[in-house]
Amino acid sequence: MRLEMGTFPVHDVTFGASTRYDAGRLTIDRDAVLAAVRQDPRIATAELEIAHPGESVRIWPVRDVIEPRVKVEGRGVCYPGICDREITTVGTGRTHRLAGLGVVEVSSVNWHDAGGDFVETYLDMSGPYGEMYPYARLFNVCLVVEPDAGLGEEVKNYAVHKAALTVADRLAEAVRGLTPPETEVFELGPVDPSLPKVVYIWCVHSPQAMSGSPTAFCTATYGLTQLTPPWYLHPNEILDGALTGPYRTAYAMSWTVANNPLFLDLYRRHGRDWNFLGVISLRTEWTTQTEKQLMANQTAKLAKQLGADGAVVTWDAGGNEFIEVVRSIQACERLGIKTVFLTSEDDATEGAPTMLEPLPEADAIVSTSFFKNVTLAVPEAPAVARVIGVPTKKILRGSAIGLHAGADASLPTAGPLPPPWRYDDHYGFGSLSCTE
């Protein structure tokens, strides 16, 4: 499986009379893009705005950030399966991408109506909070979109994500016929047989148990989010967006999955430092001990059958999902596969362990800091000059810090605002360091 990735860096974005890319400058025909979005009768309102890196602007509510990618040669479409896109196996031919650009899905549609999960992410394009995320360095084309209020939650999710993908597709079409300034070839070619064989165990949350629906929206595998046994994915499938979708934490949205630095490094060093075997993707949040252990056993078995000497493990959630993740690590180690685990840490107040089940086999761990912004003592996000999206924000969990301590109310989004509840850097994007 061979994939050429053509990269078109974006250095400026403006609205104009036609949608085109010229030497790093992307011009967007706003009316034409919005007309395409509004063709879907499920869409009630849609607006398009641009947020620039470093600008005093806040985007709220943020459900997803998508990097525009288009399949130029070869089978299938980028971001396959989700919102009924075709499910042809991707990963061959040539794909073009707009780098340094995000299409932001700005909508108040919640994930599902079963309770417990809420949209809580907002993005700042400047200031201390913006600096913690990769998105403040992107040109963000924000689709502020709301669906027909009379629709069910799942159809609303479908409608607004499809709308965001429509925008991404329109922008990516601008570079379909152009010669990419940068091209990189990705394939798992033959390597020195003495190199260690390494697999990436990429655990992704399933909303099925929490929502009660096997088709609730989340990071999807060819469109599927339900609880399924572990998948083997060729890394080129990932590059073409086989794993994609909106998500409740900022570091596991479509853009961060597509640009996961750990994954890209594993791939780029194939043949030099190791033999990269590809990706085992494990759905998490199984709800019995037996199921969790079964998934761990099967994940390790699959890694062993692939010939793995080592495995790098990440996850994108919290709580009980840790069990199948850490037991996959245990099962790998017991089969002789060395593991390294990249994770944020849980709240260690009152002597609780920073990991839910600290098994002795999980003995090589890279911490990406605490997963709660309160534990991290992230300061309030300062007031901004402009808001893209909804002008008020409900403080769902109250705030333990600053001006809004104890608040459980609606606040003006322009701020100052407490940071979102979670900060879990799943794939090592961040640059936080610590002192002891």
Partner 1 sequence: MGIPVGMISAIYNFALTTGANRVIRGARIEHVCGDPTLSPEKDYAFGMHIVRTALAAITVAVPGPTLFDPMQERK
CB of 227 to partner 1, least distance (A): 12
Task: List, in order, residues 6 or more apart from 357 with CB less than 8 Å away.
Answer: 322, 323, 326, 327
Q: Which stretch binds partner 1 (CB under 8 A): 57-65, 143-151, 217-225, 289-297?
A: 289-297
Of 320, 342, 354, 364, the one binding partner 1 (CB under 8 A) is 320
Please, which residue, 226 or 293, has the CB nearer to partner 1?
Answer: 293
Beta bridge pairs of residue 405: 399
Does 209 contact partner 1 by CB under 8 A?
A: yes
What is the spatial distance between Cα 116 and Cα 2, in angstroms, rounded to a whole number?
42
- Listed in order, strand segments (DSSP E) in 76-219 are 93-99, 101-106, 123-124, 139-147, 182-187, 197-205
CA atoms within 13 A on the CB side of 226: 5
Is residue 289 near partner 1 by the rule CB under 8 A?
Answer: yes
Name the nearest CA neighbour of 241 among 229, 253, 227, 230. Answer: 253
Pick one of 86, 131, 273, 357: the residue that binds partner 1 (CB under 8 A): 357
Residue at 405: amino acid letter: A
Place of tokens 């011009």: 27
Q: Binding partner 1 by CB under 8 A: which of 287, 334, 385, 408?
A: 287
DSSP states of 328-353: HHHHHHHTT-EEEEEEEE---GGG--
Considering beta carbons, is residue 306 or 356 the nearer one to partner 1? 356
Using the rule CB under 8 A, give the single segment among 42-50, 80-88, 250-258, 356-364 that binds partner 1: 356-364
d(C-alpha 144, C-alpha 167), whole Å? 11
H helices present in 7-102, as ranges: 30-38
Least distance between partner 1 and beta carbon 341 (Å): 17
Nearer to partner 1, 184 or 291 (CB): 291
**What is the distance between the terminal CA atoms of the chain, rounded to a whole angstrom?**
46
Report if residue 213 touches partner 1, rule: CB under 8 A: no
Question: Which residue, 359 or 377, has its beta carbon nearer to partner 1?
Answer: 359
Is residue 349 a contact point for partner 1 (CB under 8 A)?
no
Contact by Cβ (8 Å): 59, 141: no
Is 259 a residue that touches partner 1 (CB under 8 A)? no
Q: Is 363 in the site for partner 1 (CB under 8 A)?
A: no
CB of 65 to partner 1, least distance (A): 30
Closest approach of partner 1 to the CB of residue 216, in Å: 14
Residue with tokens 């061979």: 2
Q: Applying CB under 8 A, does 10 fall inside the site for partner 1?
A: no
Site for partner 1 in 141-200 (CB under 8 A): none
> Residues touching partner 1: how many (CB under 8 A)?
12
For the CB of residue 362, give the shortest distance to partner 1 in the complex, in Å: 13
Residue closer to partner 1, measured from CB, 167 or 326: 326
- d(C-alpha 416, C-alpha 96), whole Å: 39
Distance of CA 292 to the CA centre of its chain: 23
Beta-bridge mates of residue 280? 201, 232
Question: How far is CA 286 from its chain centroid?
Answer: 21
- Told to check if 292 binds partner 1 by CB under 8 A, we report yes
Of 323, 325, 329, 374, which one interacts with partner 1 (CB under 8 A)?
Answer: 323
Residue 294 binding partner 1, by CB under 8 A: no
Hey, which residues does 145 pair with through a beta bridge? 46
Binding site for partner 1 (CB under 8 A): 209, 212, 287-289, 292-293, 320, 323, 356-357, 359
